[in-house]
């Protein structure tokens, strides 16, 4: 029997995570579906957003969304984030774009092995310290170097913009309780976390299996987001504070959107995640074309303790002695 309605998109028809719109923020509107597009309706009219091009949809105050719209977003592997007035909460995501579990298995294996986890953590820090050798540094030494780097980044941006800087202070439950630059930092980081979470989910990794951060359902999101703060969110926050914005949340979101688009962060994020999880020191860099082909494979296989992968959807009752 034919199922009524518009069929879900086929995997080859979907845009890759790195080719999508980083995020779209909507508020005070009704979100519905029109064929394979998301529609946002308010008193000014209707805007159509192709679902296959969307990375993350941020829903602010006054929004309502239909089941049909959510089904379309899930089918297209996009992420939905319900946010408060200043975008400080994350609630849901859709199905991954990747059908292969290769990244997830590699991530779980690495995070479960002390030496491999340390190797990935060192690689993450090495990406933040260009030209420095982190091979023999302990996690305590790496945390110390990172703390000094972040303090230097704050100080340099304060000097660049003329914004007064004391320290990073914020209350997740009181956005306006901190000074303008800290408000802008909170809003910018919230956008970055949403973007990175969308990419992590889209490529089939686990948001909760972190290497530096641990114990939280977004530990890996924080790991990856920390790679880009010095280049993206910290400069944006100081620019917004220097401009004496009267709507810090909205102005910061727009500035992050422009910075992310111009800097091609989505593609960079996808490549960084793949290299961190799939590069083996003995085997060298991953083959990107081979990985893309495997990630597009929608087959479900069966595990065997002998290391084999058997075809799924078959009855093996005639091949096994009980």
- 146-158 pLDDT tens trace: 999 999 999 999 9
Q: 312 pLDDT band (50/70/90 cuts)? A: low
Distance in angstroms (rounded) separating the CA atoms of residues 25 and 191: 10
Q: In the predicted model, what is the mean pLDDT of the chain?
A: 80
Q: Which fold has domain 101-279?
A: 1.20.120
| Model pLDDT, residue 260 | 81
Min mean pLDDT across 30-34, 165-169, 196-200, 262-266 is at 262-266
Query: Which helix H or strand E contains 83, and what residues bound it?
Result: none
Cβ within 8 Å of residue 146, ≥6 positions away = 125, 128
CATH 3.100.10.20 range(s) for the chain read 23-83
Distance in angstroms (rounded) separating the CA atoms of residues 65 and 80: 11
Distance in angstroms (rounded) separating the CA atoms of residues 237 and 150: 14
Which carries the bigger pLDDT value, residue 78 or residue 259?
A: 259
| Model pLDDT, residue 156 | 96
| Model pLDDT, residue 3 | 42
213 marked as part of a ligand binding site? yes
**CATH number of this structure's domain 23-83, picked from the four choices 1.10.510.10, 3.40.50.10320, 3.100.10.20, 3.30.1330.10:** 3.100.10.20
Phi/psi for 2 (5° steps) reads -75, 130
Classify burial at 189, counting beta carbons within 10 Å of its beta carbon; exposed 0-12, middle 13-18, buried 19 or more. Answer: buried
Q: What average pLDDT score do residues 202-230 get?
A: 92
Please state whether beta strands 45-50 and 37-42 pair in parallel, antiparallel, or not at all (unpaired).
Answer: antiparallel
| Model pLDDT, residue 237 | 95
| Model pLDDT, residue 129 | 87
Q: What average pLDDT score do residues 271-291 get?
A: 64
Distance in angstroms (rounded) separating the CA atoms of residues 205 and 221: 10
CATH 1.20.120.920 range(s) for the chain read 101-279
pLDDT tens-digit readout, 244-276: 988 998 899 889 988 887 667 878 888 899 999
Whether the predicted pLDDT of 282 surpasses 50: no
Whether the predicted pLDDT of 278 surpasses 50: yes
174 marked as part of a ligand binding site? no
32 marked as part of a ligand binding site? no
258 and 180 in contact (C-beta within 8 Å)? no
């Amino acid at each position: 029997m034919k199922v009524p309605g518009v069929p879900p998109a086929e995997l080859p028809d979907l845009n890759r995570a790195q080719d999508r719109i980083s995020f779209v923020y909507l508020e005070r509107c009704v979100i519905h579906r029109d064929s394979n597009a998301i529609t946002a309706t308010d008193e000014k009219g209707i805007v159509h957003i192709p679902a296959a091009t969307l990375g993350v949809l941020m829903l602010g105050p006054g929004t309502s969304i239909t089941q049909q719209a959510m089904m379309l977003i899930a089918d297209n592997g996009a992420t939905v984030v319900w946010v408060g007035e200043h975008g400080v909460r994350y609630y849901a995501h859709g199905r991954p774009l990747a059908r292969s579990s290769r990244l997830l298995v590699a991530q779980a294996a690495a995070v479960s092995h002390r030496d491999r986890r340390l190797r990935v953590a060192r690689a993450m820090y090495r990406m933040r310290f260009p030209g420095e050798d982190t091979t023999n540094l302990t996690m305590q030494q790496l945390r110390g170097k990172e703390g000094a780097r972040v303090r230097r980044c704050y100080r340099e941006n304060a000097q660049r913009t003329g914004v007064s800087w004391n320290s990073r202070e914020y209350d997740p439950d009181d956005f306006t309780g901190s000074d303008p630059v800290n408000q802008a930092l909170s809003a910018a980081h919230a956008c970055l976390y949403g973007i990175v979470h969308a990419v992590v989910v889209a490529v089939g990794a686990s948001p909760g299996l972190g290497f530096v951060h641990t114990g939280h359902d977004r530990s890996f999101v924080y790991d990856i987001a920390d790679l880009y703060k010095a280049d993206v969110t910290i400069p944006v926050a100081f620019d917004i504070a220097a401009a004496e914005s009267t709507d810090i949340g909205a102005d910061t979101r727009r500035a992050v959107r422009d910075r992310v688009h111009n800097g091609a962060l989505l593609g960079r994020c996808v490549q960084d995640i793949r290299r961190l999880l799939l590069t083996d020191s003995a085997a060298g860099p991953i083959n990107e074309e081979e990985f893309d082909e495997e990630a597009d494979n929608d087959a479900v296989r069966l595990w065997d303790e002998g290391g084999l992968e058997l075809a799924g959807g078959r009855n093996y009752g005639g091949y096994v002695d009980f």
